[in-house]
Amino acid sequence: MGAVVVEPGSTTLVLGPDQVLDRASMHMANALLGNPDSAAGLEVLLGGLKLRFVTGSAVAVTGAEGMVTLNGNELPFNKAVRVAPGAVLEFGPALFGLRYYVGVQGGVSARTEPLRAGMALTFGRAHGHGFPEMTSPARRAPDPERPMVARVSRGPQALNYDAGTWLRLTSEPWILSPESDRIGARLEGRPLNVAAAPEGAGGEAPRPQPLVSGSVLLPTSGLPVIALAGHPDTAVSPVIAVVRDEDLDLIGQARPGQMVHLLG
């Protein structure tokens, strides 16, 4: 056993790098510790997590920013820190961004359900040598008071809509809905015109199509939804745009109520 969950926070998950909503932050946490990029870590929504380490290890916290303490002392962000047996790591509310990421040397054993109080976490084998030097600067967590900007390219069904629909999608401001989750970032604003050109004869019903993270779906409500890491494999709603891969991690750190601009 590596650690015990004292308080799980609002939601804390053990996830692999391909499952997290801010991949760059999880990658950095692993890189700081010398872990393979495939190592699983913790995604902590908003804070509240409290861990007690049974064995010594090392941790790195990236992503959101707030007060994070180790035995009551402030823990630096974006840096590998040694943790002694019995130490307590505690996360205060996230002030910037939405999701903290926690890498542990050796990686965290995979789980599928949210963490619960009293749950035991196990870690992989630590490599036992110093931490690698990081040459790239850490990305700061986004300010929730400032608009989030994500660049988009045209999606496979974009040609079914007139130029005015694309112009509105990429020029009018959107607000991240509180109904957003790990499946999709739901945007609120003035609904777009969903009257699309027919794709085929015979009035056939739309067929499910493969879905990738970053797809901007246009459901019948006219309010766009950005597919995130927890999205299903297929969707019936047309994909009018796709968020650039390098900007998708920012959407994972956007807060409900925050303004979002899609730039095409």
User: Confidence class of residue 110 from pLDDT cuts 50, 70 and 90?
Assistant: confident
Write down the pLDDT at residue 166.
95
For the chain, helix, strand, coil in percent to 5 are 10, 35, 50
Q: What percent of the chain has pLDDT over 90?
A: 81
pLDDT of residue 2: 87
| Residue range 240-253, pLDDT digits in tens | 999 999 999 999 99
The percentage of residues in the chain with a pLDDT greater than 70, rounded to a whole number, is 91
Contact criterion met (CB below 8 Å) for 8 and 49: yes
Average pLDDT along the chain:
91
Q: What is the CATH T-level fold of the domain 3-121, as seen in this structure?
A: Jelly Rolls (2.60.120)
Report pLDDT for 209.
Answer: 86
- From residue 193, give the alpha-carbon distance in Å to each of 27, 154, 224: 39, 16, 11
Query: pLDDT value at position 140?
Result: 77
Please name every residue paired with 262 in a beta bridge, in sequence order, or none if there are none: 150
| Fold (topology level) of 148-198+207-263 | Cyclophilin (2.40.100)
How far apart CA 1 and CA 6 sit, in angstroms, is 14
The answer to whether residue 257 scores a pLDDT higher than 80 is yes
- The Cα–Cα gap between 39 and 17 comes to 7
Taking only the tens place, the pLDDT of each residue in 226-239 is 999 999 999 999 99
Can you tell me the distance from the alpha carbon of 156 to that of 215, in angstroms, rounded to the nearest whole number?
Answer: 10
Q: Can you give the pTM of this predicted structure?
A: 0.90
Q: For residue 205, which of 177, 238, 179 has the smallest C-alpha distance? A: 238
For 54-64, write each residue's pLDDT tens digit.
999 999 999 99
Q: Where are the domains of the chain?
A: 3-121, 148-198+207-263
Over residues 258-263, mean pLDDT: 96
CA atoms within 13 A on the CB side of 147: 13
Say if 3-121 and 148-198+207-263 have the same CATH topology: no
φ/ψ of 209, rounded to 5, equals: -125, 155
* 3-state SS, residue 89: strand
User: If you write DSSP's letter for every residue of 41-64 in order, what string do you get?
Assistant: EEEEESS-EEEEESS-EEEEEEEE
Decide if 3 contacts 54 (C-beta within 8 A): yes
